[in-house]
Amino acid sequence: MITAHPTDMILQEYAAAYIDKRTDVAEHLHHCTACRIKVSQYRSLFETLPGLKKPAFDFNLADTVIRQVAEQRPTVSNNDSSYYSILLIACTCGIGLFSFLLYKTGPILFAEGTLLTTVAIATAGLLLLSVLATEMIKKHYAQIKTLDQFSHAAT
């Protein structure tokens, strides 16, 4: 039998039935009114706590958050294709100029250079740039599409 009072932690665990009822604690409680009352109070606490009213937000959280997500979209407009048109024209002009210069200076730069070599280099460059531009545009539109879905729902 426990002669000293059990600690509060032990009494809490006993009240919550975390420890076996057939222990020295039970025997102590049988003789000790003070500890018995404590256990009774903790038990009451454990029974009452789940009944506390659960708080809830007093506004539509989903709508508010989705609206904010939509507001964080990039500044480039979905319909602003002129940006990409200018980029494409600039690339084409640049490649054309590069091809012309290469055609004119190619024979000097490369002793054995021919028109075929010049065209092959220019074509390879053009292809590479096209692939990169396509990937960039695809990525951008995928991002815009995602944000548009949120934007559409929010407005």
Partner 1 sequence: MQSVNQIPANNYDERSIVKDILSGSEAAFRTLIRNTEGLVAQIVYRMIPVAEDRKDIAQDIYLKVFKNLEGFSFNSRLSTWIARIAYNTCLNYLEKNRIMTEDSQRIDADVGADFFSGKAEEQLFTKDRIKILQAAMEKLSPIYKTLITLYHNEGLNYQQISEITGLPNGTVKSYLFRARQTLRKLILQTYQKDAL
Binding site for partner 1 (CB under 8 A): 8-9, 12, 33-35, 37-38, 40-42, 44-46, 48-57, 59, 61-62, 64-66, 68-69, 145-146, 149-150, 152-153
Question: Rounded distance, CA 155 to CA 114, Å?
Answer: 60
Question: Rounded distance, CA 144 to CA 142, Å?
Answer: 5
For partner 1, the closer of residues 67 and 121 by Cβ is 67
Smallest gap from residue 29 Cβ to partner 1 (A):
12
Smallest gap from residue 139 Cβ to partner 1 (A):
14
Question: Rounded distance, CA 16 to CA 40, Å?
Answer: 10
For partner 1, the closer of residues 12 and 118 by Cβ is 12
Output the six-digit token pair for 64: 């508010």
Output the six-digit token pair for 84: 């990409």
Give the angle 86-90-93 at the CA atoms, nearest 5°: 140
For partner 1, the closer of residues 102 and 150 by Cβ is 150
